[in-house]
Amino acid sequence: MKRIYRSVSSLLSFALVGSVLLQSCSSEANKPVAEKEKFAIPDTVMKTLRIDTVKTSQLINAITLTGKVGSDEDHVVPVNALVTGNIQDVKVVLGDYVKAGQVLAVIRSAEMAGYGNDLINAQSNLRVAETNLQKTKDLYKSGLASMTDSLNAEVTLQQAKSELNRVQQVLKINGGSTQGEFVVKAPISGFIVQKSANNNMAIRSDNSTSLFTISDLKDVWIQANVYESNISLIKQGENVDVTTLAYPGKVFKGRIDKVMNVLDPSSKVMKVRVVLQNPDYLLKPEMYASITVSDKENKECLSIPSQALIFDHSQYYVLVYNSKTDVKITPVQVINTVGDRTYLASGVNNGDKVITTQAILIYNALNS
């Protein structure tokens, strides 16, 4: 009888424990699932975050032209050889900066040697004429020479002086050397942008090819191409922005100086000349450039910094900022982008705050 009682007691205890365990599991299952932790911008990111305001701005349309940097042709000087001879000493290379009067090369020339001999002969003839005149005057005073002899001696002296002056001018034009050398000097300060002179090269004075070409590059020209559909947007005197591959993010300010009112028959483009200052010589001849021509319309729309835009899944977005824990991904419709400003048709309101730095990082965090 005691054994039966113990067995029943054990079964009741086991059932009670099982019931408690079941209730415990049931209560755990019925607990509400914890809400997902709300996103908050970390303090370290907040320190570097830049936030801008959506503004109402005048709508600007822009076209981008392509072109190539070139020298200002009004300040380009070709340097030619004025004599025939052989180049003995080239002192500069392509790209060197030279000052006005600096020696570029030395040419050994038979012509220069001839000019030197002409100078010596002219100087000798002048001394002889001066001596003859003095002697003739003495003879005239003593009655041994006529007035005609004296006048002829004076004419000979004037001719000798004139010849000496001519020879000196010719020698000066050709460098002034009496050693048979023609010294090629820089006529202006600037950069050697073209060079065809080499040591031991024979040259002729009638050769039209210049030995050097110098440009000061303080101003540069860009010849830009305008397609027929954009001609109506181009106006002479209009300011433009110029960018290059060499300096990403840097904008140079220029001006349309000349509009060539003809189209190239093969490419069907019109050329325009853009002039811009180049004080630091950053722009080099033959660089490719993009020229942005802006056209302000009589219309206003919302605008934001271009850095605030995010493009994902064929849609543009911005991050509207209310607080570090309240950032919303908002789709927007873009009209166009001009430089660092983007113009919007819809998606945000005037005065909204948008994140302009770390936007991709925060966008990915919100989507994760």
Report domain extents, the chain.
51-60+298-367, 64-72+217-297, 82-109+180-216, 110-176
| pLDDT over 80 (residue 4) | no
Q: What pLDDT band is residue 28 in, cutting at 50, 70 and 90?
A: very low
The whole-angstrom separation of Cα 270 and Cα 263 is: 5
The residue-averaged pLDDT of 51-76 equals: 88
Burial 74-97 (b: 16+ CB within 10 A, else e): eebeebebebbbebeebebeeebe
Query: CATH number of the domain at 64-72+217-297, out of 2.40.37.10, 1.10.600.10, 1.10.1200.30, 2.40.30.170?
Result: 2.40.30.170
Lowest mean pLDDT among 93-107, 146-160, 309-323: 146-160
Q: What pLDDT band is residue 60 in, cutting at 50, 70 and 90?
A: confident
The whole-angstrom separation of Cα 193 and Cα 72 is: 12
Q: What pLDDT band is residue 11 in, cutting at 50, 70 and 90?
A: very low
| pLDDT over 90 (residue 244) | yes
pLDDT of the residue at 188:
92
CATH number of 110-176: 1.10.287
Between 25 and 214, residue with greater pLDDT: 214
- What share of the chain has pLDDT > 70, as a percent? 89
Between 213 and 3, residue with greater pLDDT: 213
The whole-angstrom separation of Cα 304 and Cα 275 is: 30
pLDDT tens digits, one per residue of 128-140: 999 988 888 888 7
What value does the mean pLDDT of the chain take? Answer: 84
Give the residue among 175, 176, 165, 174 at the shortest CA–CA distance from 123. Answer: 165
- What share of the chain has pLDDT > 90, as a percent? 42
Determine the topology of domain 51-60+298-367 in CATH.
2.40.420
pLDDT of the residue at 312:
92
pLDDT tens digits, one per residue of 162-172: 988 998 888 88
- Confirm whether pTM is higher than 0.75: no
| pLDDT over 60 (residue 329) | yes
- For domain 82-109+180-216, the question of CATH label 2.40.40.20 is answered with no
- Residue 2 has, within 13 A of its CA and on its CB side, a CA count of 0
pLDDT tens digits, one per residue of 264-293: 888 889 999 999 999 889 999 999 999 988
Distance of CA 36 to the CA centre of its chain: 53
